[in-house]
Amino acid sequence: MQFQVPQFIETEDKIVGPFTLKQFMFVAGAGLGSAILYFTVVTWLWMILTIILLGAAIGVAFIKVEGRPLGNVLLSAFGFYWKPQTYIWKSEEQPAPAAQTENNEENGGISLEKIITGAALHKRWENLQTGQKTPESNVVETKMNSRYQIIQRISGVRTAAKRVDYR
């Protein structure tokens, strides 16, 4: 069985000449408002109000801002400025990393003296070229749950890891 798949479903149908129903309603509403103003206010004020009213109606009916109709943009802007805005910032209190000692090489860390002399960078570069891994002893265990374990590296980055118990 073959079915026709509708295409161009995002385009509105042209109802009245080259206008969609929305566009026609905006322009017709502005025209009706102008006719009412013609009988209620003086001529010079009617001209000014009609120009403003028709300009606004044509703008809302035909102008698009980044693919969105101007009416939707104006409604979004109105909602943004008039609705209450509450921004809640909740800081994550993370404990400061443990104080490092002068000689923390046994922990897998790098001392300031080694950085200055370049020995630490030389050792890291050598490990990178030979494919040796640096010791993972710079991982500090902080919490332990039944199935997952939260680990925190000395740099402060927390990571969740699945805990496996071999019994």
Average pLDDT over residues 3-32: 85
- Is the pLDDT reported for residue 58 higher than 90? yes
> Tens digits of per-residue pLDDT, 85-94?
776 666 666 6
pLDDT at residue 15, as a whole number: 80
Mean pLDDT rounded to a whole number for the chain: 75
- Is the pLDDT reported for residue 98 higher than 70? no
Residue closest to 92 by CA, chosen among 146, 138, 141, 150: 150
Distance of alpha carbon 49 from alpha carbon 41, whole angstroms: 10
Distance of alpha carbon 64 from alpha carbon 167, whole angstroms: 66
Average pLDDT over residues 139-152: 55
